[in-house]
Amino acid sequence: MAIYGTALLALCTLLGAALGELLGHVLHVKANVGGVGLAMLLLIAAKAWLARRGKLTPGLRLGVEFWGLMYIPIVVAMAAQQNVLAALEGGPMVVIAGISAVTLCFALVAVLGRVMGGRHG
């Protein structure tokens, strides 16, 4: 049943968020540390475990995959509620800091990809 997949996804997301909060608390940080990433790792592990036991039914897959497919529309909705006006009206300091940081990081993606890619063949 599809709800099993969605419930599994919900369980992994909740556990990951809780672990992220816990990690933040232990590290004395006022933020969730890697909650989404931890939830993703949990879901990957759960999928492998279910596959081994032959319990990865089409219905269950559908319940997870639907939300994966809804990701782009959700991101579009996210973009539609950004405070774009404030971002553009922040003045020259904001614009200069934003543009230089993003440009530098784009360049570093290229450098890192080339250097590390070469090492792994």
Q: Which 23-82 positions form the footprint of another protein (CB under 8 A)?
A: 23-24, 27, 29-37, 39-41, 43-44, 47-48, 61, 64-68, 70-82
Q: What would you measure as the largest C-alpha separation in the chain, in angstroms?
A: 58
**Which C-beta is closer to another protein: that of 59 or that of 113?**
113
| 26 SS3 class | helix
CA distances from 98 to 54, 62, 101, 105, 107 (A): 49, 40, 5, 11, 14
Task: Write down the least CB distance from residue 19 to another protein, Å.
Answer: 11
Task: Write down the least CB distance from residue 27 to another protein, Å.
Answer: 6
Which member of 4, 57, 113, 118 binds another protein (CB under 8 A)? 113
What secondary structure letter does DSSP report for 120?
A: T
